Homo-oligomer: A and B are copies of this chain.
Amino acid sequence: MWSAVREQRSRERSRGGEGGRKRGRRGAMTFEERKKRALKRLAERGADADIVEILERINRLENFFTTSSCSGRIVLLKIPHAGSKREAEFIAKWHRPVSAAEVLLALKSMQGRNAGCSAAREREEIWLIEQPPIIHVACRDLRSAEEMLEVAYASGFKYSNLKSLKHFVVEILSTERMDVPLCECGRMLCTAEYIEFVVSRANFLLNRAKKKLKRLLENLSSLE
């Protein structure tokens, strides 16, 4: 489930975020050249409003630059029964807490579209997924990566890790997430009351995750 969402996030970041660098031979571009290109992309494509200040602060640091980010969101995702990543499709995305009414409305609109669909379409599932903030930071070297990881952990981003050893890319990642299957298309499997409960938990987790962004912003000053 998560792999489908992360691949979608990765494609979106490549299209609409500040990332999407082509992978060249190691040493083909210097750190400064890669940073310049990443910042150009960020300026062109922008980023989620409540994460912009953090990105700016990281990008002002000599030994770091951001390559992609998302400030956290709640999504409804449609996937084929077999969980095929390539065919996953977003039904709705919210970068803020949502109401059960919004979620139910989005689900109902899907049911309307699926009326009269094939048996294969009826095996599709819809999942509600809450995703925490995520920021990818390219670091100049291993030591810088260590420093960034310490700042991330100290700010509550306990799932942070070193994602790539090629360009020392640190993934700043928090822990709050939820993956809940809600229905197989054409068939709602849970009650409206349950959806209200799930939505309240998703909002709680998203809010808690977003609060950590403030701590991260403060703690970044230790790298200046």
With contacts A2-B177, A197-B184 taken as known, whether A161 is within 8 angstroms of B158 at the C-beta atoms is no
Quick check: is A90 within 8 A (CB to CB) of the other chain?
no
Quick check: is A6 within 8 A (CB to CB) of the other chain?
yes
Task: Name the distance in Å between A83's Cβ and chain B's nearest Cβ.
Answer: 7
From 167 to 224 in chain A, residues with beta carbon under 8 angstroms from any chain B beta carbon are 171, 175-181, 184, 189-191, 193-194, 197-198, 201, 204-205, 208
From 141 to 158 in chain A, residues with beta carbon under 8 angstroms from any chain B beta carbon are 142, 145-146, 149, 158
Question: Contact string, A61-103, partner B, CB cutoff 8 A, digits 1/0?
Answer: 0000000000000000000000100000000000000000000
User: How far is A178 from B1 in the complex, measured between Cα atoms in Å?
Assistant: 7
- Residue on B with the closest CB to A198? B181
User: How far is A57 from B204 in the complex, measured between Cα atoms in Å?
Assistant: 43
B-chain residues with CB within 8 Å of residue A194 when the two chains form the complex: 189-190, 194
User: How far is A177 from B2 in the complex, measured between Cα atoms in Å?
Assistant: 7
- Residue on B with the closest CB to A163? B161
User: How far is A208 from B81 in the complex, measured between Cα atoms in Å?
Assistant: 13
Quick check: is A30 within 8 A (CB to CB) of the other chain?
no
Residue pair B159, A162 in contact (C-beta under 8 Å): no
**What are 8 of the A-B contact pairs (CB < 8 Å)?**
A3-B175, A161-B171, A162-B162, A178-B180, A181-B198, A189-B193, A190-B191, A194-B194
Q: Which residues of A contact B (CB under 8 A)?
A: 1-3, 6, 83, 125, 142, 145-146, 149, 158-159, 161-163, 165, 171, 175-181, 184, 189-191, 193-194, 197-198, 201, 204-205, 208
